[in-house]
Chain A
Amino acid sequence: MKIFAAAALAFAAATGAAVAEDFPTKPVTIIIPYSGGGSTDLMARSLAIELQDMWGQPVIVENRAGAGSMIGTAYLSQQKPDGYTLLVNTAAHSTAPAVQKDLPFDPKTGITPIGMVATSPYVAVSGAGVKSEGFDKFVEEAKERPMFFATAGVGSSSHFAAELLIQQAGLPADVVHYSGGGEAQVNLMGGHADVYISTTASVMPYVNNGQVKALVVLAPERFELLPDVQSSGENGVEGIEIDGWLGLFGPGGMDPALVERLNADMNKAIATDRFKKVLEENFVVAGKTTSAEFKEQVEKEMELWIGLAKERNIVAQ
Chain B
Amino acid sequence: MDIFSNIALGLEIALTPVNLLYCFLGVFLGTFIGVLPGIGALAAISMLFPITYHLEPTTALIMLAGIYYGTAYGGSTASILLNIPGTSSSVVTCLDGYPMAQQGRAGVALAMTAIGSFFGGVFGILVLSLFSPLISNSALSFGPAEYFTLMVLGLIAASAITEGSAAKGLAMVVLGILLASVGMDPQSGIQRFTFGTLDLMDGLGMSALAMGLFGISEVIASIRTKTDGTTATVTPHAVSMRSLIPTRDDMRRSWMPMLRSSSIGSFFGALPGTGPSIASFVSYAMEKRVSKTPERFGKGAVEGVVAPETANNAADQTAFIPTLTLGIPGSATMALMIGAMMVHGIHPGPQMMTEQPAMFWGLVMSFWVGNVLLIILNLPLIGLWVRLLTIPYHLLFPAIVMFISIGAYSVRYSAFDVLTVAGFGALGYAMRIFAMPAAPLLLGFVLGPLIEQHFRRAMVLARGDLAAIVERPISGVFVIISVLLLGWSLWSTFRQTGKAKLVESEN
Q: Which residues does A use to contact B, with CB under 8 Å?
A: 35-39, 41-42, 45, 49, 61-68, 70-71, 74, 99-100, 102-104, 128, 148, 153-155, 174, 176-179, 182-183, 185-187, 189-193, 205-206, 208-211, 281, 314-317
Contacts and interface: CB of A to CB of B under 8 A. Distances in A.
Contacts of A70: 198, 201
Of all A-B residue pairs in the complex, the 5 with the closest CB atoms, nearest first, are: A37-B339, A154-B189, A209-B349, A192-B143, A37-B335
| Among B45, B50, B53, B322: residue with most chain A CB under 10 A | B50
18 contacts: A39-B342, A42-B339, A42-B342, A45-B53, A61-B50, A65-B202, A65-B412, A100-B198, A100-B201, A148-B461, A178-B186, A186-B326, A187-B144, A190-B141, A190-B142, A209-B347, A315-B189, A316-B190
Nearest to B339: A37
| Among A99, A155, A176, A186: residue with most chain B CB under 10 A | A186
B460 interface: yes
Contacts of B338: 37
A99 B276 CA distance: 34
A71 B412 contact: yes
B412 A176 contact: no
A209 B351 contact: yes
| Among A61, A148, A185, A192: residue with most chain B CB under 10 A | A192
B143 A190 contact: yes
Interface in B431-486: 453, 457, 460-461
Contacts of A65: 202, 412
B342 A64 contact: no
A70 B186 CA distance: 16
B75 to A, nearest CB: 21
Contacts of B327: 205-206, 209, 211
A77 B338 CA distance: 31
Contact of B328 (A71, A74, A182): A182
A183 B272 contact: yes
Contacts of B351: 209-210
Contacts, number: 148
Interface residues of B, number: 50
Contacts of B53: 45, 49
Contacts of B337: 37
A211 B350 contact: yes
Nearest to B352: A209
A186 B339 contact: no
Interface string B162-198: 0000000000000000000000101111100000101
Given A182-B272, A189-B140, A281-B345, A74 B198 contact: yes
Nearest to A67: B201
Given A66-B201, A100-B201, 10 more contacts: A36-B49, A36-B335, A37-B339, A45-B343, A71-B412, A154-B184, A191-B140, A193-B461, A205-B349, A211-B326
B46 A63 contact: yes
B329 A36 contact: no
B457 A190 contact: no
A128 B412 CA distance: 36
Contacts of B196: 102
Nearest to A277: B345
